[in-house]
Structure 1
Amino acid sequence: MNSATDTAGTDARQKILASGRRTMGGKGFSAVGLNEVLTAAGVPKGSFYHYFGSKEAFGEALLQDYFDEYLAEMDQIFRAGGQTRAQQLDSYFAAWMASQSFEDCQGKCLAVKLGAEVADLSPAMRAALRSGTAGIIERLARAIEDGQADGSLACSGDASALAQSLYQLWLGASIMVKIVRGPQPFDNAQRATRQILHPSR
């Protein structure tokens, strides 16, 4: 296979994944049929089965692709120069609030939208969720440890446990934002986060 064919194949696969993220991010995994995903992507059905053996395999790849992008964005935030870890954590949670809209998340809130649903449907998708969320918590824990070391965070205790508590707090807030259709849960989560981390600035 030549490079042009490789590129075309990669583009088709990414179109399907991008379409799935938008449609399933809005409606859920079970409510969306493959025809809807493929029509939106402008890709024939045969192409789907070339890249994904089943809807479940597609869901697994969809989550892996989502978390790959999410973790890369986290890494970019925590590489920002001229900022303490406390400031970078502020930036991360501000980005969380901006992306997890209660009106239209444009596929950026896939873990929130699909988490409970697909964890009960598929061991493979549950494993993808577990791996992706573990990556988020690990990065938060490193940032907290660094913040404790550079003096920008005055919190005490195990960084991994704090990171897990914060992730669970914000995951719950994201669900509540969709229920109440307003930002108050995020405001509460932001205040609780500052109480937990005790930024020194």
Structure 2
Amino acid sequence: MKIYISILISIVFLMACNSIENINPLSGENREYPFASAGRNIEVHAKEPQVVDVAYFVDSIPGPNGQLVSKKFELAPSASNKKLVLLDLMIVNRSSTVIPMLFDENAVRIGDRRGKRIEASNPYQISRELDLSTENNGTEVTQLVWGDIELPRQTQIGGTMVFEVPKGLLLGTLFWDEIEFIPIDYIDYNKNK
């Protein structure tokens, strides 16, 4: 009889765990952001890093008369021994307060747990301006995240961060280090042990 009760409790527990995962549509298998981890105040959701040769984005910048002017920018590696990595993130504030955040080179790193970690690159510093009529070559980045923001409670912000990494670097882990330290593994480091 005790075995049947234990099996019944196990089945109910497994069903409950499955239903908890369904509450959050951002992450998990076959979801928009398949990699996720949570700290005490925030959740970090990420897509797999995307390695590209060239990317571009369009942004509105104040012109000489103060009005916003659309400008096109190209992102490309600065040297032949580097590659460009685009990383789509979603940060969720589950706390009961407004959280001030700074998306910069110190907030996010990518690399592996055993070796090198590369800081995010400021897309405005590593890009070059193009003419708006220039043909679109490369991957379009529609929403960059960079700079200061205030994230109200129970809200989220998402966008793309840019990294310029050495060729051959294992892109195994995202290291989020703003508000709290949250690592997200893209690979299983214990697989070959």
- Shorter-chain-normalised TM-score: which range? under 0.3
What TM-score do the two structures reach when normalised by structure 1?
0.26
* Bigger proportion of residues as strand: 2
* Bigger proportion of residues as helix: 1
What TM-score do the two structures reach when normalised by structure 2?
0.27
